[in-house]
Amino acid sequence: MDGVNLTVERQNDALLIAGFPEATEQSPWRAELLDENRILLRSDDMLQNANKQNRGTASLSVFVMRDFLIGLAQSGFSGVVAVDTGFGVKRLFLNDGKLVFAGSNLIDDRLGEVLFRESKISLDDLTSSAAEVTKVRKFGQVLVSSSILTKVDLWDALKLQVRQILRSIFMSDQLFCEIHPVAAPPSTEVVFAESFAQLVQEAFSYGAAYRAFLSRLRAETEVALQSSVETLQLTYPAGTFYGDIISLIAQERSVQTLLDQSKLIDAYTVGALMHLVNSGICKIIPDNDPLPKMSPTMAALKNTLDSYAFVLQSLRKVFTTAQKDFPIADLRNFIERLNDTSIQTFFVDDLGNLERDCVISIISQSQDSLDRLQVVVNRIESVIQFMLQITGDHLDFKAAQAIRHELRTGNT
């Protein structure tokens, strides 16, 4: 390096590098061999006041956190990763690169709170069961002994809690992470069908959608219900988590007021609003933000969205010509089955169009994850084929076949 004199000294299994122009003599850098392909370069200042044998700490962006956790999965790491999100400390328990449990110091992450938000238990169930919890009798045991949940339900509930704690990590832009290779295992372990890397990608996509939604909110932002409270409460009854939020929106549309009145932390209240908006229950007012730009890597998504619009328009013409109603109820039922339990993605208006909020959510959760991008593209393509199928069932099969042919040949 021109004009720079570096000194390199070997110390045990590391190289000590000093002499950087920006660094003082008291801030040498250490290159540590991680494996045959990777070297970790860091300043000794990072190690002050840290237990180098049992713990390492770092401040990470949400993107680095995703890659870091996936790296732990690939390396078969066992131990605990503690993450300070700014609204709570989350602890991920890993065994041989697999996520086996998660904990949090946040009340809103407790099992009962999670189950109530997901409409798995009622508010009465939550309060009465919480009163019976002791040092030796856990909340889940109370639910099972009271026949509120079965043992199978409790197993699924624990997995749901772990998923929600994991996804909450990615709701912040910047995180503080602490890693404990030597840590006591959790008292309970769960097993997921997905790999830890897949769970991380899913949680990251949720976080991307959440952060994009949060960026659309302003001090003057309001939310307006798309249907009457009476109609919505057929699906979201009063006394349930979302039913109560819907009642609040009916009384006060200001997002800031909703945040002030909510018993949840702001991040989780905003997440609940995002779910309702992405379900077509309510809309943001005003909403003048442009659609997120799609990079060249998202060409497959853009093409699929264009194909959806073409097929929908073509099929509606076919139904109009036949003087029959387009089967919007069938389309909505099919789309609802495609939605993840963690990310509400797809919803359509009364004409079958993917609404603007839906498109924004799709782009937001896909723009930084090729895995999620492919999942979304596949699901939109399945909706397209379903529409063609029901057209053939309801009307003339040849009409649907002709549209399918145009789609395959690219004449859209």
pTM check: above 0.85: no
Phi, psi of 301, rounded to the nearest 5 degrees: -70, -45
In this predicted structure, what is the pLDDT of residue 150? 95
Structure tokens at 274: 């995002």
Would you say how long the chain is, in residues? 412
Instruction: Please confirm whether the linkage preceding 237 is cis (ω < 30° from 0).
Output: no
Domain residue ranges of the chain, discontinuous segments joined by +: 1-48, 55-199, 216-285, 296-409
DSSP assignment, residue 101?
E
Nearest partner of 397 among 409, 405, 389, 407, judged by Cα: 389
What integer pLDDT is reported at residue 18 of this predicted model? 59
DSSP codes of every residue in 128-145: HHHTT--SSS-HHHHHHH
Q: Which two tokens stand for residue 346?
A: 């797809």
CA–CA distances in Å: residue 221 to residues 20, 104, 225, 248, 265? 49, 31, 14, 15, 18
Per-residue confidence (pLDDT) for residue 20, from 0 to 100: 52
Looking at residue 183, its pLDDT comes to 84
Divide the 412 residues of the chain into consecutive groups of 10 and give the mean pLDDT of each group. 56 56 50 54 46 56 90 92 93 96 96 92 92 90 94 96 96 90 89 95 93 92 93 89 92 93 92 91 86 90 94 90 90 87 80 90 89 92 92 76 74 58
pLDDT at position 182: 80
DSSP line for 194-232: S-HHHHHHHHHHHHHHHHHHHHT--TT-EEEESS-HHHH
